[in-house]
């Protein structure tokens, strides 16, 4: 974002352009990298912090190819307070988007202490530094997992919290920290963004989802089956009370999601205080809907097998995006076929992800 100021020097008006600077923690990851591209394209100056534990240094080159710019990058873990402080000492930061954190639900159940240690300490370090250096604007990457199993759909921001896994509890704990901190510091502006199921990739095919090991999420799993890395897709349950028996979720294109993160700064820079939004399409698609969209994008059938339901899975889960639309003007533009096409475009151009 460019802010224009002017002052008069006798008979001349001199314009000064000030570019807002945004720190993106975890900015080399899947959602982070797409958000960095969106920020740059909206004329923000971007600084990235990432420890590359679940990302690749190659992302910087890809961001440059898309935008023509290379953000300033610090390779560090946000749990390292002294190293993290250096970022704030060396830069004037106007806002922060916090993506950094472990995110695999299954791993969190096996290694809860690892998740509490990393996700909470990294965020507390960030908030301490924002407090010390008077950085007033925060966007926190939360998750729809804080809602657990809702009684009804669509899911609204005021629904009760029913977290049922370690990963979701770390998100909710951080939300609570933000709420307490914002209540005590009226100058502080924060947006808690709860998004649903991000899929897709940048239309260029230069950046996309590149999970470590076997994917936990549906879209990269289908993509890797389609490209021949995995044998077939496992569909967990086909006996739900839905149109085709498979689970229904709110899938949102990662570029729409990135746009939402950037759009919310328009709200924060008006001294909004604390705001909370769902980011989703408001529409549910079944597993078969996603699979058939991929088959259409690829041009061939993708093998699958039906497996037993997973414990804790719900039949239908989708967002109410009305509040984000009303207060931010946020509206998604990509449909499920667009998401499948862009996912496939990324995977076929990068069968091994960012690895050569």
Q: Which of 44, 167, 240, 334 is catalytic?
A: 167
Cβ neighbours, 10 Å, residue 180: 10
**Distance separating alpha carbons of residues 335 and 135, to the nearest angstrom:** 36
To the nearest 10°, the Cα dihedral for 288, 345, 329, 23? 120
Radius of gyration, CA atoms only, the chain: 21
Is 167 noted as a catalytic residue in this protein? yes
Q: How far apart are CA 97 and CA 137, in angstroms?
A: 9
Cα–Cα separations (whole angstroms), residue 41 to 2, 44, 201, 306: 11, 7, 16, 43
- Other Cβ atoms within 10 Å of 199 Cβ, number: 29
- Classify the C-alpha dihedral 199-203-205-206 as positive or negative: negative
| C-alpha pair distances (Å), 101 with each of 50, 55, 78, 143, 196 | 10, 12, 9, 12, 17
Long-range contacts of 85-92 (CB under 8 A, 24+ apart): 85/129, 87/23, 87/47, 87/49, 87/129, 88/129, 88/132, 88/133, 88/135, 89/133, 91/21, 91/23, 91/47, 92/21
Residues known to be catalytic: 167
């Amino acid at each position: 974002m460019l802010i224009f100021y002017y002052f008069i020097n006798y008979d001349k008006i001199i314009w000064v352009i000030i570019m807002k600077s945004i720190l993106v923690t975890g900015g080399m990851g899947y959602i982070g990298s797409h958000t960095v591209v969106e920020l740059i394209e909206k004329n923000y100056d971007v600084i990235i912090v990432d420890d590359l534990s679940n990302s690749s240094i190659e992302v910087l080159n890809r961001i440059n190819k898309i935008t023509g710019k290379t953000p300033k990058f610090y390779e560090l873990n946000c749990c390292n307070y002294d190293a993290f402080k250096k970022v704030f000492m060396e830069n004037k930061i106007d806002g922060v988007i916090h993506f950094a954190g472990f995110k695999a639900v299954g791993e969190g159940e096996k290694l809860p202490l690892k998740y509490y240690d990393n996700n909470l300490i990294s965020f507390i370090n960030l908030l301490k530094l924002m407090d010390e250096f008077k950085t007033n604007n925060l966007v926190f990457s939360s998750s729809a997992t804080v809602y657990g199993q809702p009684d009804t759909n669509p899911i609204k921001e005021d629904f009760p919290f029913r977290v049922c896994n370690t990963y979701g509890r770390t998100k909710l704990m951080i939300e609570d920290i933000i709420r307490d901190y914002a209540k005590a510091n009226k100058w502080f502006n924060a947006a808690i963004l709860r998004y649903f199921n991000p899929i897709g990739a940048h239309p260029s095919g230069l950046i996309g989802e590149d999970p470590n090991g076997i994917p936990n999420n549906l879209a990269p799993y289908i993509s890797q089956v389609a490209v021949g890395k995995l044998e077939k897709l496992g569909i967990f349950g086909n006996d739900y009370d839905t149109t085709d028996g498979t689970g229904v979720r709110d899938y949102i294109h990662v570029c729409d999601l990135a746009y939402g993160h950037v759009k919310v700064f328009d709200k924060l820079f008006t001294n909004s205080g604390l705001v909370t939004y769902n980011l989703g399409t408001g529409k549910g698609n079944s597993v078969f809907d996603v699979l058939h969209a991929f088959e259409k994008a690829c041009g061939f059938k993708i093998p699958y097998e039906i497996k037993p339901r997973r414990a804790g899975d719900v039949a239908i889960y989708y967002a109410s995006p009305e509040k984000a639309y009303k207060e931010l003007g946020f509206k998604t533009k990509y449909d499920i076929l667009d998401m499948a096409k862009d996912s496939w475009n990324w995977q076929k151009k990068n069968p091994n992800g960012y690895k050569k």
